[in-house]
Chain A
């Protein structure tokens, strides 16, 4: 029997450690080369990042195996190996395609940015689509604001993060500005009523946010700008506004986000994708969490089964420590989406706790309401989802979908409930402005008339 070790190669672009990738080990032929059929593959989680330790499988019998790793980008890594009799230990190293820029490593690994070869093509195309062969540059404006009330990430057991290590922001292109919107409450009604971006209040982003531009030495034709936000020093929920001449976006930041192991804040990355051939931009927020980063990346691509596998592998630690309700909510979404209505009792209890312990986390209450709905409990779902609605904008885009779906069903179920109908309509207005391809809530806003 052989012990098989599987690890990602050193140049793997996801650094630091961000969880693991779902990998199947499948025997396809036996020791004498006869095809093996009807054997379910072994599934392991292969750690990814700096301090990789390999995933190990004990006691593999001799034969031919295929190692298939599902990257969050959609890329499938395949290795064909022979396990010899009495070979003791054997190691397999999985290699990914290189990122287009080293500083886009995590973004490439998670599928937000194309591989080097495709990226070069995108750059070339963008040049060709523009008069003069130069990509358009639009100035962005960004506003950070804070809602009333504490952040749900200020958990019973978490301390205040260290805010001393602010980064500096070099003059970026496009320019990013920021400002504070004082006392702003981010409820569904606010956005549905036509919230505008107060561009006139814009200030340099670094004044209010510990943010670093990543990849400072960038080519003039760069398609992306990447910022890393560390140690967001807020006890309240943070939003970011980004705007250019034609469009603007409100982004809910998943912060503060603490590692459940070290309890240190985990940096939030902000990727701004230009549209060189037209005005406008797209913004993506991600978290390189040591345990759940890859699960979030799978989730972002719509690969919920793999996201749930990675999450499940670490969920006990998450449940035990209660220090990262935002990660817990992500896990809740993954499990609700994949469990087909059969979550275990512990899991139900845990979702209930998430909804009650963290009063300013709309997502916990939305998940609870979705489970009530699944149980056919219309009255219970009504009570819980209306509470969720009043908690305001969820952290996750999927929360908007689940809340809207729940309120829509309940409203159809009880057409006389006018409050419910009104809530469903309001959430629908917001949902229409949501960028549903992003994991974290991102809403397109009106531009100010001036």
Chain B
């Protein structure tokens, strides 16, 4: 089964296609005949975790009353488990393998759903290997390298998919590509072929709303995307946290995440979680539209540090609001980590550093906290 969530919605709705590819039978370490075109790619542990986390979030947390969630299609290539258990459920749903046949079929079904109303919202998430060459970008699927005559038969041509989706009525489309964008010999030698094309590029009917499509890449062109072993990827983590709070704005009265504020939040989280900075997210085709409406106040990331940095070792750090202690971190006796990370609801707070020992005097700073994030630097005097 590809569709792990379906709810009939009477009007415009949101349709998601989520793909996670970790097991590659024809790459080194895989169970199948090894392709000559591996280009240094191997098995991955993170993509299926990342895809599951994104599917979970969509089913459990996504909220958009203009386009409520109607469908989540999920395809996985997971060496350990080809089932998906929805949040709050114990039912294991068998999930189709993320090979080129299934992905093409799912993409066409997703297109058909999107084509039902021009006010629909489409969401696409892919996590797995990716190889790129200039504008061409191949998303590598489970059966990549099944035949050396055309290894890229097991890939999705993302550029052409994006062009093809312009002919879909759904005017709002968000693409999240959580994959490397490294150059590869296979793509260089492929004579313009960058994978399968589920929907041919075409010209949008100008009677329709112009398409607003935003693409969020996990990394810059020519660069790698990262994950910690057996954890969701850095980008997937940042995406979920951003959607839950840091990417929100209340300019319209309620807290909403739009594509522009989401980009700012992704920038922050990926900067924070990459030390040293190795992965910079990038977006393209900038349109600003609302993706998600928060049901409660956003949790805002706050980073508290001392100036000079080493003072944090002996600092008792406290965050108070209207005189009440909200969070406290006693001195840890080490300058590492150099910052105290908090998540706070929007509002005014006092941040203090006090010292029971060491060479510094205390400091106080009052600051207002709201998304995207706040960095609080407490200047302490010797």
Q: Do A and B come from one complex?
A: yes
On chain B, the residues within 8 Å of A94 by CB distance are none
* Cβ-defined contact, A37 with B253, below 8 A: yes
B133 interface hit (Cβ, 8 Å): yes
B333 interface residue per 8 A CB criterion: no
Cross-chain contact A305 with B288 (CB below 8 angstroms):
yes
Q: Which of A407-435 contact B (CB under 8 A)?
A: 408-410, 412-413, 425, 428-435
Judge if A374 is at the interface, Cβ distance under 8 Å.
yes
Q: Provided the pairs A40-B251, A425-B192 are in contact, do residues A432 and B285 lie with their beta carbons within 8 angstroms? A: no
Tell me the smallest distance from the CB of B242 to a CB of chain A, in Å.
Answer: 14
Q: For the complex, give the distance between the alpha carbons of A58 and B261 in Å.
A: 26
Judged by a CB distance under 8 angstroms, whether B104 is at the interface is: no
Q: How far, in angstroms, from A196 to B260 measured CA to CA in the complex?
A: 41
Contact B136 A428 (CB under 8 A): yes
Chain B residues within 8 Å of A305, by CB: 260, 286, 288
- When C-beta atoms are compared, the residue in chain B nearest to A414 turns out to be B203
Which of B5-13, B37-45, B145-153, B276-284 is the contact stretch?
B276-284
A76 at the interface (CB under 8 A from B): yes
Given contacts A340-B212, A341-B210, contact A409 B287 (CB under 8 A): no
| Cβ–Cβ contact B276 & A125, under 8 A | yes
Stretch from A162-170, A248-256, A397-405 at the B interface: A397-405
Q: Is B222 at the interface (CB under 8 A from chain A)?
A: yes
A315 and B271 alpha carbons, distance in the complex (Å): 33
Q: Is A302 an interface residue (CB 8 A)?
A: yes
A436/B252 contact (C-beta < 8 A), A340-B287, A341-B210 known: no
Contact A374 B206, beta carbon cutoff 8 Å: yes
Q: Which of A114-122, A139-147, A264-272, A356-364 contacts B (4 or more CB under 8 A)?
A: A114-122
B272 CB to nearest A CB, Å: 12
Q: Pick the contact of B202: A400, A412, A425, A435 (CB < 8 A).
A: A412
Task: Name the distance in Å between A201's Cβ and chain B's nearest Cβ.
Answer: 27
A412 to B167, CA, bound (A): 12
* Complex: A305 Cα to B212 Cα, angstroms: 13
| A412 engages B221 (CB within 8 Å) | no
Judging by beta carbons under 8 Å apart, are B370 and A28 in contact? yes
A28-B368, A29-B368, A429-B192 are known contacts. Are A434 and B135 too (CB-CB below 8 A)? yes
* Chain A: CB-nearest residue to B166: A409
B334 at the interface (CB under 8 A from A): no
Return the chain B residue nearest A65 by Cβ: B368
The answer, yes or no, to whether B373 is at the interface (CB within 8 Å) is yes
With contact pairs A342-B210, A376-B204 given, residues A38 and B251 touching in the complex (Cβ less than 8 Å): yes
In this complex, what residue of B is CB-closest to A111? Answer: B280
Task: Tell me the bound Cα distance from A2 to B348 in angstroms.
Answer: 22
In the complex, which of the residues A64, A342, A409, A435 contacts B203, with contact meaning CB atoms closer than 8 Å?
A: A409
In the assembled complex, how far is the CB of residue B255 from the closest CB belonging to chain A, in whole angstroms? 9
Looking at the assembled complex, report how far the CB atom of A283 sits from the nearest CB atom of chain B, in whole angstroms: 13
Q: Is B205 close to A, CB under 8 A?
A: yes
Q: Which of A47-67 contact B (CB under 8 A)?
A: 64, 66
Rounded to whole Å, the gap between the CB of A368 and the closest CB of chain B is 16
- 1/0 contact string of B72-83 vs chain A (CB within 8 Å): 000000000000
Max chain B Cβ within 10 angstroms of own Cβ: one of A70, A74, A404: A74
Q: Which of A302, A338, A404, A429 contacts B282 (CB 8 A)?
A: A302
A432 touches B250 (CB 8 A): no
Q: Is the CB of B348 within 8 A of A29?
A: yes
B268:A437 contact, CB within 8 angstroms: no
Of chain A, the residue at the smallest CB distance from B223 is A437
Within 8 A of B (CB), among A62-94: 64, 66, 70, 74, 76, 78, 80
Whether, in the assembled complex, B295 has its beta carbon less than 8 Å from a beta carbon of chain A, the answer is: no
A400 partner residues in chain B, CB cutoff 8 A: 134-135
Q: Is the CB of A76 within 8 A of B277?
A: no
Whether A432 and B135, one on each chain, are in contact in the complex, defined by CB atoms closer than 8 angstroms, is: yes
Question: Which residues from 314 to 359 on chain A have a C-beta closer than 8 Å to any C-beta of chain B?
Answer: 337-338, 340-342
Q: Are B210 and A338 in contact (CB under 8 A)?
A: no
User: A22–B227 Cα gap in the complex (Å)?
Assistant: 33
Q: Least Cβ distance of B292 to chain A in Å?
A: 18
CB <8 Å contact, B201 and A435 = no
Asked whether B363 is an interface residue with its Cβ less than 8 Å from the other chain, the reply is: no
Which chain A residue lies CB-closest to B288?
A: A305
B112 on the A face (CB < 8 A) = no
A399 nearest CB across to chain B (Å): 12
For residue A390, CB closer than 8 A to chain B, the reply is no
**A122 pairs with B163, CB closer than 8 A:** no
Interface residue tally on A, bucketed by range: 35 or more
For residue A208, CB closer than 8 A to chain B, the reply is no
Q: B212 to chain A: which residues have CB within 8 Å?
A: 340
- Given known pairs A305-B260, A425-B192, the reply for A64 and B348 (CB within 8 Å) is yes
Q: Is B325 an interface residue (CB 8 A)?
A: no
Distance in angstroms between the alpha carbons of A386 and B366 in the assembled complex: 60
A198 surroundings in chain B (CB, below 8 A): none
Q: Chain B residues near A408: list those with CB within 8 A.
A: 160, 163, 201
B294 → A minimal CB distance (Å):
13
Residue among A41, A118, A378 making CB contact with B251, cutoff 8 Å: A41
Shortest distance between the CB of A118 and any CB in chain B (Å): 6
Q: In the complex, what residues of A have CB within 8 A of residue B277's CB?
A: 114, 118
Q: If the complex has contacts A76-B268, A338-B286, are A122 and B276 also in contact, measured as CB distance less than 8 A?
A: yes
Q: Is B374 in the interface zone, CB < 8 Å from A?
A: yes
* Residues of chain A within 8 A of B93, CB atoms compared: none
Chain A residues with CB under 8 A of B253: 37-38
Specify which chain A residues have a CB less than 8 angstroms from the CB of B271 in the assembled complex.
74
A313 at the interface (CB under 8 A from B): no
Residues of chain A with a CB closer than 8 A to B263's CB:
303
Residues of B within 8 A of A148 (CB): none
Chain B residues lying within 8 Å of A378, measured Cβ to Cβ, are 203
Query: Are the C-beta atoms of B203 and A432 separated by less than 8 Å?
Result: no
Task: Tell yes or no: A279 within 8 A of B by CB.
Answer: no
**Mask for A107-138, Cβ within 8 A of B = 1, else 0?**
00000001000100110010000000000000
| A-side contacts of B332, CB under 8 Å | none
CB-CB under 8 A from B276, the residues of chain A are 118, 121-122, 125
Assess the A337–B285 pair: CB atoms within 8 A. yes
Q: Which of B330-376 contact A (CB under 8 A)?
A: 346-348, 366-368, 370, 372-375
Q: Which residues of the partner chain B approach A37 to less than 8 Å between Cβ atoms? A: 250, 253
Residues of B within 8 A of A374 (CB): 204, 206, 210
- Residues of chain A with a CB closer than 8 A to B163's CB: 405, 408-409
Check: B220 CB closer than 8 A to any chain A CB.
yes
- Name A413's closest neighbour in chain B (CB-CB): B203
Q: B200 in the interface, Cβ–Cβ < 8 Å?
A: yes
19 contacts between A and B (CB under 8 A): A26-B251, A28-B368, A29-B348, A35-B346, A40-B252, A64-B348, A64-B368, A66-B370, A74-B271, A114-B277, A303-B286, A305-B286, A305-B288, A337-B285, A376-B203, A376-B207, A405-B159, A431-B135, A432-B133
Which A residues form the contact surface with B (CB < 8 A)?
26, 28-29, 33, 35, 37-41, 64, 66, 70, 74, 76, 78, 80, 114, 118, 121-122, 125, 301-305, 337-338, 340-342, 373-378, 381, 400-401, 404-405, 408-410, 412-413, 425, 428-437
Closest 9 CB pairs of A and B: A376-B206, A341-B210, A38-B253, A304-B286, A432-B134, A431-B135, A432-B133, A434-B134, A40-B251
Known: A118-B277, A303-B263, A377-B206. 20 other contacts (CB 8 A): A38-B250, A38-B251, A40-B251, A76-B372, A80-B366, A80-B367, A338-B286, A338-B287, A340-B287, A374-B210, A376-B205, A376-B207, A400-B135, A409-B166, A409-B203, A413-B202, A428-B135, A428-B136, A431-B135, A431-B136
